[in-house]
Amino acid sequence: MTTETSPSDPVDPSDPVGCAAAARAALLAAPGPGGRPRRRALARLTDDWLAGLLAAAGAPPGVALVAVGGYGRGELSPRSDLDVLLLHDGPVAGELPERIWYPVWDSGARLDHAVRTVAEARAVAAADLKAQLGLLDARHLAGDRALTDALRAAVLTDWRASAPARLPELRELGRERAERQGELSFLLEPDLKEARGGLRDVVALDAIAASWLADAPRDGLDDAARWLADVRDALHLVTGRATDRLGLQDQDQVAERLGVLDADTLLRRVYEAARTVAYAGDVTWRAVDRVLAARGGRGRRVRRLGIPFAGSGRGSGAVARGAVERRPLAEGVVEQDGEAVLAQGARPAADPVLPLRAAAAAAQNGLTVSYATVRRLAAECRPLPVPWPDEAREQLVTLLGAGESAVPVWEALEAEGLVRRLIPDWERVRCRPQRNAVHRWTVDRHLVETAVRAAAMTRRVARPDLLLVAALLHDIGKGWPGDHSEAGEVIVRDLGARMGFGPEDTETLAVLVRHHLMLVDTATRRDPDDPATVEAVTKVVATLPELELLHALTEADALATGPAAWSGWRASLVEGLVARAADRLAGAGTPRAESAPTAEQERLAVEAARTGQPALSLRARSEGAEPGAEPMGVELNLAVPDRPGLLGTAAGVLALHRLAVRSAGLRELDPVGAGPVLLLSWRVAAEYGELPEAARLRADLRRALDGSLDVTRRLAERDAAAPRRRGIPTPPPLVAVAPAVASATATVLEVRAHDAPGLLHRIGRALDGAGVRVRTAHVSTLGAEAVDSFYLTDGAGRPLTARRAGEVAAAVRAALG
Contact of 452 with 405, CB cutoff 8 Å:
no
Question: Which has the closest alpha carbon to 675: 612, 594, 626?
Answer: 612
Contact of 664 with 683, CB cutoff 8 Å:
yes
Question: Which has the closest alpha carbon to 668: 704, 639, 645?
Answer: 639
Element (H, E) at 695: helix 694-706
- What confidence score (pLDDT) does residue 669 get? 84
Beta pairing, strands 633-641 & 677-686: antiparallel
- What confidence score (pLDDT) does residue 590 get? 52
CA 805/CA 734 separation, integer angstroms: 15
For residue 517, give every residue at least 6 positions away whose Cβ sits within 8 Å of its Cβ, in sequence order, or none.
485, 554
Contact of 150 with 135, CB cutoff 8 Å:
no
Sheet of 368-369: strands edge to edge?
326-330, 333-336, 339-342, 368-369
Contact of 347 with 332, CB cutoff 8 Å:
yes
Those residues of the chain that have pLDDT short of 70 are: 1-20, 32-33, 93, 297-324, 587-594, 621-633, 674, 722-727
Contact of 398 with 364, CB cutoff 8 Å:
yes
DSSP per residue over 616-648, as a string? EEEEEE-TTPPTTPPP-EEEEEEEEE--TTHHH
CA 362/CA 232 separation, integer angstroms: 37
The sign of the dihedral angle between the CA atoms of 297, 303, 308, 314 is negative
CA 397/CA 466 separation, integer angstroms: 9
46-57: string of b/e by CB count within 10 Å (b at 16+)?
bbebbeebbeeb
Contact of 207 with 170, CB cutoff 8 Å:
yes
Cα of 410 vs its chain's centroid, Å: 3
**Helical ranges in 296-417 per DSSP H:** 354-364, 371-380, 390-400, 406-415
In one-letter notation, the amino acid at residue 293 is A
- What confidence score (pLDDT) does residue 311 get? 33
Whole-model pTM: value is: 0.88
- What confidence score (pLDDT) does residue 627 get? 46
Contact of 138 with 68, CB cutoff 8 Å:
yes
CA 804/CA 792 separation, integer angstroms: 11
Contact of 311 with 318, CB cutoff 8 Å:
no
Cα of 524 vs its chain's centroid, Å: 33
DSSP per residue over 96-138, as a string? HHHHHHHHHHHTT--EEEEEE-HHHHHHHHHH-HHHHHHHTT-
CA 323/CA 340 separation, integer angstroms: 16
DSSP state of 742: G
CA 265/CA 777 separation, integer angstroms: 54
Q: Which residues pair with 349 in a beta bridge?
A: none
In one-letter notation, the amino acid at residue 261 is L
- What confidence score (pLDDT) does residue 215 get? 92
- What confidence score (pLDDT) does residue 437 get? 74
